[in-house]
Each structure stands twice: as C-alpha cells, then as structure tokens.
Amino acid sequence: VVSGQKIWISTARVANKVLLLARTTPLDKVKKKTDGLSLFYTDFDRKKIEVREIPKMGRHAVDSNMVYFDNVEIPATDLIGREGDGFKQILHGMNPERILVAAEAIGIGRAALGKASKYARERVVFGRPIGQNQGIQHPLAQAWMQLEAANLMVYKAATLYDKGEECGVESNAAKYLAGEAAFHACQTAMMSMGGMGFAKEYHVERYLRESFIPRIAPISPHLIMNYIAERVLDLPRSY
Ligand SMILES: Cc1cc2nc3c(=O)[nH]c(=O)nc-3n(C[C@H](O)[C@H](O)[C@H](O)COP(=O)(O)OP(=O)(O)OC[C@H]3O[C@@H](n4cnc5c(N)ncnc54)[C@H](O)[C@@H]3O)c2cc1C
C-alpha cells in the first residue's frame, strides 16, 4: 500500500503504467538509506492516483505533473527483481538516461548554430554579410568547439556503457558538458541573429528554452559537480 508524492513526473496524464520506487523497509531498519527500496512496474490508475499538471516554459511535447498516491494498493506480482534492491536496479537506467539527455543537448546546440550560421551568411548589413565580421564568427566558432568537445565525452560514456563497463563518471560529465555547451550555443546563436533570434519564425528562442531541460534534469549541474568532486577528486562528502 503506497502513500507519497512526487513532483515533475513526465506523461502522467497519458501513461497507463508507472515505474515506481517505494520504501518497503522503514529507514530505522536498514543499514544504508538506499537499502529497503523496492521497484514496481504497475498500472497508473488516475482514479486512484491524483495528477496535477505543471504549466512550464518549454518541453510542451510531454506533460509534466505532480502526482499523489494515497493508500494505493499495488499487487506483489508487480514487483521488479528483489524486494529491497530497487535502488540498485534503478541505477542501471540512470547512466543511459544521462547519456541520452546529453546527446539531445548536442542536437539542440547544433540546430541553433546551424540556424545562426545560415542567418550570418545571408543577412547583409552595410554591404557585407554579418558572418564576415569576426565579432560574429568567433563566438559561433567557440560554441561549435565546446559542443563537439562535449560530444566526445558523450561518445566515451556511450562506448563504456555499451561495453558493460562502469560509466557513472563519464555519463555525469557528458550530461554536464553537453548541457552547458548547448545552452551556450543557443545563447550565442540568439545574440548572433539580433532581433530575429527572438522571433518564433527562426526557432532559436525555442531551442534556448529547451536547452534548459538538459541543464536542469535528470540531475542538476551542481549535483554533478558534487559527484565529480567527491567521487573523482576524493574531496570530503557534502552530505
Ligand atoms: C521539464 C522537467 C521534466 C522532468 N521530468 C522528470 C521525470 O519524468 N521524472 C523525475 O523523476 N524527475 C523529473 N524532473 C525533475 C528533475 O530531475 C529535477 O527537477 C532536477 O533533478 C533538480 O532537482 P530539484 O528540482 O528537486 O531541485 P532542488 O533539489 O530543489 O534544487 C534547487 C537548486 O539547488 C541546487 N542544489 C541543491 N543541492 C545542492 C548542493 N548540495 N550544492 C549545490 N547546489 C545544490 C540544485 O542544483 C538546484 O539548482 C523533471 C524536471 C523538469 C524541469
């Protein structure tokens, strides 16, 4: 019987099923906080689970929601794997999710740079295309290099994952680098296009809005820096 709430649940307005991590052994009866959680794949019955949609600035292709479980019964047959081992199981999905979101960020950044470069080639001011000015060229070139360097980390993480090797550090680093590079590329593209960067017709304003998602989710840049500082550089834990 599950009670609890969670914010930012994608597609809860349309989903038929939910992957749910719930505490099944109380905190005072486990050695580690991550023990005693169990994973379920169960029916998402909106008659029993309350869903409230969150109005938001982008990512309109999917709904985002707050969900509330109040004594919702879940059959034991919907348990995935072993009771109490849910956290270890859900970790398997977290690295590929980071790699996927990083790759998405690279795509958004490349799309923005493509639009800005085209604009800079075609837009003529005072008798010459604005793209002939190094003040326009350099920021775009810099954004391209940052994006492609981040993409190498995405491929490194994906290669390790495909080989079944440990890839937590690389997946987190890829998500961080790609998210930041994409945001920078979108912002640079927008500023290179002047007023037209702001116009919906050119889509760059939309890419800029979308670039915030791979920065914020599924883990924030700050928590990735904590992870790298503590797991790679062996600095004292912040929690
Ligand atoms: C559009 C969208 C869709 C999403 N979809 C899903 C989904 O489907 N499923 C799901 O589970 N989640 C989803 N999320 C949630 C997302 O993963 C979280 O919003 C994200 O991980 C940040 O957590 P938070 O919002 O709880 O931030 P908070 O924990 O409230 O943190 C606020 C800020 O403080 C910073 N901060 C916190 N602690 C520290 C620290 N120790 N040091 C430095 N800075 C710190 C954070 O980095 C962040 O910038 C979605 C979010 C969005 C915006």
**Cα–Cα distance measured from residue 225 to residue 63, given in angstroms and rounded to the nearest whole number:** 29
pTM: 0.94
Q: Tell me the H-state helices in the chain.
A: 86-122, 134-162, 168-192, 195-198, 204-216, 221-227
The answer, yes or no, to whether any atom of ligand 1 lies below 6 A from the CB of 62, is no
Q: What is the pLDDT of residue 25?
A: 97
Cα(32) to ligand 1 centroid in Å equals 23
Look up residue 239 and give its amino acid.
Y
For the record, the structure tokens of 180 come out as 């930041």
Identify which of 9, 21, 220, 238 to mutate to test ligand 1's pocket (most ligand atoms within 8 A of the CB). Answer: 220
The answer, yes or no, to whether any atom of ligand 1 lies below 6 A from the CB of 11, is no
Q: In what order do the strands lie in the sheet with 49-53?
A: 2-10, 64-72, 49-53
Q: What is the pLDDT of residue 195?
A: 97
The answer, yes or no, to whether any atom of ligand 1 lies below 6 A from the CB of 140, is no
What is the block-wise mean pLDDT of the chain (239 residues), using blocks of 10 residues?
Answer: 96 96 96 96 95 96 97 96 94 94 98 98 98 98 98 98 96 98 98 97 97 96 97 92
Q: What is the pLDDT of residue 91?
A: 85
**Cα–Cα distance measured from residue 159 to residue 96, given in angstroms and rounded to the nearest whole number:** 11
